[in-house]
Amino acid sequence: MPVDYNERIPNNVALTENPRLQRALESWRPNYLRWWNDQGPEGAQDFDVYLRTAISVESDGWAHFGYVKMPDYRWGIFLAPPQAERTISFGDHLGEPAWQEVPGEYRSSLRRLIVTQGDTEPASVEQQRQLGSTCPSLYDLRNLFQINVEEGRHLWAMVYLLHAYFGRDGREEAEMMLERHSGDQDKPRILGAFNEKTPHWLAYFMFTYFTDRDGKYQLASLAESSFDPLARTCQFMLTEEAHHMFVGETGIMRIVQRTCELMNELKTDAPERIRTAGAIDLPTLQRFINFHYSVSIDLFGQERSTNAANYFTTGLKGRYRETRISDDHRLVDTTWPVYVPKDDVIVCEEQPALLAINERLRDDYITDSQRGLDRWNKTIQQHGIDYRLTLPHRGFYRQIGAFAAVCVSPEGDIVSKEVWADHVSDWLPTESDHEFVTALMQPVTAPGAMATWIAQPPRGINGQPTDFPYVRFLSN
Ligand code: BYC
Ligand code: FE
Ligand code: FE
């Protein structure tokens, strides 16, 4: 299924054969471009950016790299190839043919899931729009812009589904995607984490490590959907998501490396001395991990969720790698261990597995998140430094679910409000942490040069050297 790049909207869904849909999407396009210009990367619309563009949905179709001005990026509609005679792999409709149209009775639930997913994509672009002016290197700047255009494309992916399968209310939802804005008082984005600020590059690397990873797990669950167009769309989005998490993981890794090098050079572990030398001390990194992790695990919803149970039984949203799980795929009579606060302690209770779908996905996410920490810790260890970065307890600083009602320390003890207040500045980034990090963020734009607080990447992009001009400004 080749992608036709002569089309105004590149796609592999035979858009020209459906002129009504094509017209609808073409009339949404100028509104999207207006949004991109108003809310997308600030001051960067004229830069030439060395971007990757999908040229086909096959696994080798990612080959095209070249300089593009971001507003000219070929945002398009790409679905993974259909699987012949795909059947439903979970829930009440197990074994039936996957749906090519939306069943009337599930229309509003499905629309809600697609809208929630779609809303996060432009939200993240809005959150990151000011980062360009303080980039630590051209390599990092290019990666930021690559992620931004792909999140824009993810919005296109969801808007396509809304336009193609949900008629008039789908078109209305598509308009609303451009009207809600991250952090807006009156029309905020739907989910909590997408209304937080991403004020500097440390927050950005944490966001791409932790919050884009929620994207991976949510998309993987939706990739199991009985609604085949949604499943195929999400399968292709996942190939883009891998790069976003790579940027987060390697970004934090390079910060850790730089900090460790300085600690050894200066023979100190005093945060103040590391900061004076222009790097980010490990305890500050830990506080940012605590924040971004807890905000991101909130995105999985309540521990016990009838919404999630209904999505599962009706076949709208499966579990992570549903088809590789060996059980009945209906979850009758099975349980799942769920941590909840009870009086003064945290207990693990067996809950009906169907109600614990969100928690199970959160468990998968937690295991995956730990992998990066293990790699960062290995680097710390290789520098002979006795310090370990850790994930806080899942109950720490939660706003959603059973833990929202209690204060939990990073170690997982329920503590009083007083103890929380005494320790919160050790546990979460403080105003002054933010001020320090913000002050560190001086733009570095000479090819190959790096900010003081981050190590060189081990290699460049698409086989290019690390001192390649990944972004060319107007004056160049
Ligand atoms: N903030 O039954 P529950 C990505 C609400 S990230 C605010 O647990 P459910 C990306 C909830 O709506 C992936 N409200 O809810 C990453 C519900 O409201 P009602 C995004 C929240 O539905 C980086 C109530 O609380 N994709 O792609 O099971 C860059 C009861 O909760 C929150 C998706 O999320 C929250 N965090 O679970 C760019 C996939 N959590 O019914 C992109 C689609 C819960 O009382 N969404 N509530 O009015 C879903 O699957 C589900 O909506 C959720 C929530 C898992 C998010
Ligand atoms: Fe995305
Ligand atoms: Fe992403």
| pLDDT single digits (tens) 215-250 | 999 999 999 999 999 999 999 999 999 999 999 999
Which one, of 121, 116, 111, lies nearest residue 32 by Cα? 121
The pLDDT of residue 426: 98
**Beta strand extents in 227-287 (DSSP E only):** none
* Nearest residue by C-alpha to atom 25 in ligand 1: 301
The mean pLDDT of 87-111, rounded to a whole number, is 98
The pLDDT of residue 28: 97
The end-to-end CA distance of the chain, in Å, is 38
Distance in Å, CA 175 to ligand 2 centroid: 18
Distance in Å, CA 353 to ligand 2 centroid: 28
Q: Using an 8 Å Cβ cutoff, are 357 and 335 in contact? A: no
| Atom of ligand 1 minimally distant from the CA of 192 | 1
Q: Using an 8 Å Cβ cutoff, are 39 and 181 in contact? A: yes
At 254, give phi and psi (nearest 5°). -70, -35
User: Which ligand is nearest to the Cα of residue 128, counting in written order?
Assistant: 1
| Atom of ligand 1 minimally distant from the CA of 113 | 43
Q: Exposed, middle or buried by CB within 10 Å (0-12, 13-18, 19+), for 466? A: middle
The pLDDT of residue 3: 66
Distance in Å, CA 241 to ligand 2 centroid: 6
| Residue 110 scores a pLDDT above 70 | yes
* Nearest residue by C-alpha to atom 13 in ligand 1: 215
User: Which ligand is nearest to the Cα of residue 147, counting in written order?
Assistant: 3
Element (H, E) at 172: helix 167-177
Q: Where are the domains of the chain?
A: 15-472
CATH fold of the domain at 15-472: Ribonucleotide Reductase, subunit A (1.10.620)
Split at pLDDT 50, 70, 90, the class of 61 is: low
Ramachandran category for residue 43: left, alpha or beta (phi over 0 → left; psi -120 to 50 → alpha): left
Please, which residues have CB within 8 angstroms of residue 448's CB and are 6 or more apart in sequence?
A: 137, 138, 465, 466, 467
Tokens of 387: 């310090």
Distance in Å, CA 301 to ligand 1 centroid: 5
Q: How many CB atoms lie within 10 A of CB 253?
A: 21
| Residue 379 scores a pLDDT above 60 | yes
pLDDT in tens, 344-368: 999 999 999 999 999 999 999 999 9
Q: How far apart are CA 302 and CA 297, in angstroms?
A: 10
Distance in Å, CA 121 to ligand 2 centroid: 5
Ligand 1 pocket test, pick from 218, 241, 303, 314 with the greatest ligand atom count within 8 Å of Cβ, gives 218
User: Which ligand is nearest to the Cα of residue 194, counting in written order?
Assistant: 1
The pLDDT of residue 476: 47
Q: How far apart are CA 339 and CA 366, in angstroms?
A: 13
CA atoms within 13 A on the CB side of 425: 5
* Nearest residue by C-alpha to atom 14 in ligand 1: 191
Taking all residues of the chain, what is their mean pLDDT, rounded to a whole number? Answer: 96
Distance in Å, CA 403 to ligand 1 centroid: 16
Q: Using an 8 Å Cβ cutoff, are 145 and 73 in contact? A: no
pLDDT in tens, 286-320: 999 999 999 999 999 999 999 999 999 999 999 99
Distance in Å, CA 8 to ligand 3 centroid: 24
Q: How far apart are CA 254 and CA 42, in angstroms?
A: 25
Split at pLDDT 50, 70, 90, the class of 82 is: very high
| Atom of ligand 1 minimally distant from the CA of 193 | 36
How many degrees, rounded to 5, is the angle at CA 329 between CA 324 and CA 334? 115
The pLDDT of residue 2: 63
Ramachandran category for residue 192: left, alpha or beta (phi over 0 → left; psi -120 to 50 → alpha): alpha
| Residue 55 scores a pLDDT above 80 | no
Split at pLDDT 50, 70, 90, the class of 62 is: low
The pLDDT of residue 54: 79
Beta-bridge partners for 66: 51
Pocket of ligand 1 (CB under 6 A): 113, 116-117, 120-121, 124, 151, 191-192, 211-212, 214-215, 218, 298-302, 305, 307-308, 317, 358, 400
Three-state secondary-structure class, residue 53: strand
DSSP string of 120-154, one letter each residue: HHHHHHHHTTTGGGG-S-HHHHHHHHHHHHHHHHH
Strand order across the beta sheet in which 471-472 lies: 64-69, 48-53, 471-472
Distance in Å, CA 153 to ligand 2 centroid: 8
Q: How far apart are CA 163 and CA 80, in angstroms?
A: 19
Ligand 1 pocket test, pick from 113, 116, 155 with the greatest ligand atom count within 8 Å of Cβ, gives 116
DSSP string of 303-369, one letter each residue: SS-HHHHHHHHTTSS--TTGGG--S-SS-TT-EEEEEEEETTEEEEEEEETTTTHHHHHHHHHHHHH
Number of residues that make up the chain: 476
Comparing 60-74, 108-122, 247-261, 430-444, which segment has the lowest mean pLDDT? 60-74
Q: How many CB atoms lie within 10 A of CB 365?
A: 23
Tokens of 362: 């959160």
The mean pLDDT of 13-37, rounded to a whole number, is 95
| Atom of ligand 1 minimally distant from the CA of 299 | 36
pLDDT in tens, 182-210: 999 999 999 989 999 999 999 999 999 99
| Residue 60 scores a pLDDT above 90 | no
* 325-343 CB burial, b ≥16 within 10 A, e <16: eeeebebeeeebebbbbee
Please, which residues have CB within 8 angstroms of residue 74's CB and are 6 or more apart in sequence?
A: 5, 10, 53
The pLDDT of residue 64: 84
Q: What is the pTM of this model?
A: 0.96
Where is pLDDT greater, at 8 or 263?
263
Ligand 1 pocket test, pick from 307, 316, 360, 364 with the greatest ligand atom count within 8 Å of Cβ, gives 307
Distance in Å, CA 343 to ligand 1 centroid: 27
Q: How far apart are CA 334 and CA 343, in angstroms?
A: 26
Distance in Å, CA 360 to ligand 3 centroid: 21
* Nearest residue by C-alpha to atom 27 in ligand 1: 215
User: Which ligand is nearest to the Cα of residue 214, counting in written order?
Assistant: 1
Amino acid, res. 148: N
- CB-proximal residues (5 Å) to ion ligand 2: 121, 151, 154, 215
* Nearest residue by C-alpha to atom 54 in ligand 1: 301
* Nearest residue by C-alpha to atom 45 in ligand 1: 307
